[in-house]
């Protein structure tokens, strides 16, 4: 299954900035594993858009919970199952 994950980033830049090296590493690992196939950031840096491949929505959420910003509550995702057209 493929899910479109829209993530909203909250928190001050000063709070988020120290987490970014670990966030980048975790996202890269999800890409290497094929869990995240596409990742985009809005130009205002307030939203993240991911395509996530997973067997089901709970597993997709578990995978996204590996991201440090998600673990700290600075990033929350809404998931929508999608299909190619």
Name the DSSP class of 73.
Answer: T
For the chain, domain boundaries:
2-82
CA–CA gap between residue 18 and residue 22 (Å, rounded): 8
Residue 74 is predicted with a pLDDT of 97
pLDDT by residue (tens digit) across 19-67? 999 999 999 999 999 999 999 999 998 999 999 999 999 999 999 999 9
> The sheet that has 36-41: what strands, in order across it?
36-41, 47-53, 2-9, 75-82
| pTM of the shown model | 0.91
Residue 28 is predicted with a pLDDT of 98
Q: Which fold has domain 2-82?
A: Alpha-Beta Plaits (3.30.70)
pLDDT by residue (tens digit) across 72-81? 999 999 999 9
């Amino acid at each position: 299954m493929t899910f479109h994950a829209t993530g909203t980033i909250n928190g001050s830049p000063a709070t988020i900035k120290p987490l970014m090296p670990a966030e980048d590493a975790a996202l890269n690992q999800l890409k290497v594993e094929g869990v995240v196939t596409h990742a985009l950031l809005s130009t205002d840096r307030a939203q993240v858009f991911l395509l996530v491949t997973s067997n089901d929505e709970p597993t997709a959420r578990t995978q996204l919970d590996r991201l440090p910003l998600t673990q700290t509550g600075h990033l929350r995702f809404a998931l929508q199952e999608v299909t190619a057209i």
